[in-house]
Amino acid sequence: MKKPRSESSSPAIPLPIPLPAVINKEAAAFRRKKTIKYLLIHLAIIAFAVVCVYPLLRILSISIRPGDKLISTDLSLIPDGASFAAYVRLIKETLFLRWLWNSLLITVATSFIGVSLASTAAYAFSRFKFGGKKGGLILLLSTQMIPAGMLILPLFLMIMKLGLMNTYLGMIIAYSVSSLPFSIWILKGYYDTIPRSLEEAALVDGTSQLGAFYRIILPLSTPALSIAFLFNFTTAWNEYLVARVVLFSSKQYTWTLGLFELQGQYITQWGMFAAGSMLVTVPVLMVFLYSSKWLISGLTLGSVKG
């Protein structure tokens, strides 16, 4: 196909008469004012950006400090004699890799369970009319009103009664439904945008409704599913309060508990704490920056509609 030629490429029309000097002067003043304005904006933003990024840079610089200078009032970002000794020590002397592994297992299992439950429930909400639909949606929203801290105690007691303290299973049970209402909301919103005619065509061709869901809707909503998965994943990955009460042996710790241990009140393992923080933060930052756009639209979508 031929591309239509753009209209804007016509050359600028030269002015027939030179502008009077006054106007030129005014234009120059205007431009100068504008440059100063933009300069100020840049300066202000950079000042804020420094405040936002500086703590992260400080962790980085502490993590590469040589072992004998960990505690110092030095503020330079790249210290003298920088080395990765703290990272090596962290991996050799603590159970950090084990903590990461624990977190990973718990998180992947909860996200898997959460997203699979949410994907089918959201389909029912998106495509069917049934008694109690509105009530169900309101119930989902109202669960968000329950303060998160409030359910920790009964969940803790339930897990204790079931004998699942200090196990992965206890953690997975405690986490698995916490992001479910939110995931159902995002997925329902996404399914609503997929035209029904696609499924109708498949139904005419002879699949069942469930087959249409599995073969058409699910593959088409991969973006929304991965966002729901990421949301479940980050919530469980960064969780601290439930883990604090369910897990008590350091072999079972998730990384959040492990880092908190390293930063005790009086004896802080600064170097190892900083190294661990860096190892955890960098991947999370990358995933977040990649997915933040969708996460935000999901957040505001849910609340506006409610």
109-168 positions binding another protein, by CB under 8 A: 109, 112-113, 117-118, 120-121, 123-125, 127-131, 136, 139-140, 143, 145-158, 160-161, 167-168
Measuring CA to CA, which residue among 101, 105, 240 is closest to residue 168? 105
Q: State which of positions 238-297 bind another protein (CB under 8 A).
A: 238, 240-241, 244-245, 256, 259-260, 263-265, 268, 270, 273, 277, 280-281, 284-285, 288-289, 292, 296
Measuring CA to CA, which residue among 139, 140, 135, 134 is closest to residue 118? 140
Nearer to another protein (CB atom), residue 21 or residue 266? 266
Q: State which of positions 24-63 bind another protein (CB under 8 A).
A: 38, 41-42, 44-46, 48-49, 51-56, 58-59
- Smallest gap from Cβ 193 to another protein, in A, equals 18
Cβ within 8 Å of residue 130, ≥6 positions away: 124
Which residue(s) pair with 268 in the sheet?
263
Q: Residue 180 interacts with another protein (CB under 8 A)?
A: yes
Q: Residue 84 interacts with another protein (CB under 8 A)?
A: no
Nearer to another protein (CB atom), residue 49 or residue 88? 49
The residue within the footprint of another protein, chosen from 72, 83, 193, 250 (CB under 8 A), is 72
Q: Residue 95 interacts with another protein (CB under 8 A)?
A: no
Nearer to another protein (CB atom), residue 13 or residue 68? 68
Nearer to another protein (CB atom), residue 64 or residue 180? 180
